Amino acid sequence: MTYQEKKSIVSVISAILIFVSYCLFMYPRYPGVGVESSEVFHYWGSFVLNLTLFSIVAHIIISIIFNIVFRMTTNEKEPAFADELDKLINLKAFRNSFFVFVVGFLFAMGSLAFYQPLHVMFMILISSGFISDVTGSVTKLYHYRRGV
């Protein structure tokens, strides 16, 4: 298995771990029933912002650890640049990821249109962000294994 394939697998696993652990951390902090709407908006706003920051930092740390482990186990250096195949696969991954997020965004807006509670909209929006991230990594893995 090549570096890019291993990296895609690590990306999928780390995205799932980061998202699940963050949700488990934030779930008990959800404001209870009868709280002002500004509190609820504050909760969801900080949920998204903190998740973004947390996942960026966690991804960087996991990537550094992965590169160290890869070098130690294979005695190979990771590729220092992205060539034409990498760029093509990245584009396809981005397209699929973007498509999934847009569908999720539309569902989130649809939930508001059908008078669903506010938290449903935020949950769909955040879930679609997570699924689109995973979709991007799975697309990369698929194309690195099966070709373009």
Partner 1 sequence: MGKNLVGNHIRKLRFNHDEMTQQQLADKVGVTRQTIVALEKGNYSPSLELAFRIAHAFNLPLEEVFFYGDHTKQ
User: Which spans of this chain sit near partner 1 (rule: CB under 8 A)?
Assistant: 2-4, 79, 81, 83-86, 144, 146-148
Cβ atoms 93, 136 nearer than 8 A? yes
Residue placing its CB nearer to partner 1 in the complex, 2 or 46: 2
Nearest distance from C-beta of residue 102 to partner 1, angstroms: 24
Nearest distance from C-beta of residue 63 to partner 1, angstroms: 17
Residue placing its CB nearer to partner 1 in the complex, 81 or 114: 81
Torsion of CA 16, 19, 20, 26, to 10 degrees: 180
Nearest residue to 122 (alpha-carbon basis) of 135, 101, 133, 108:
108
Nearest distance from C-beta of residue 138 to partner 1, angstroms: 14
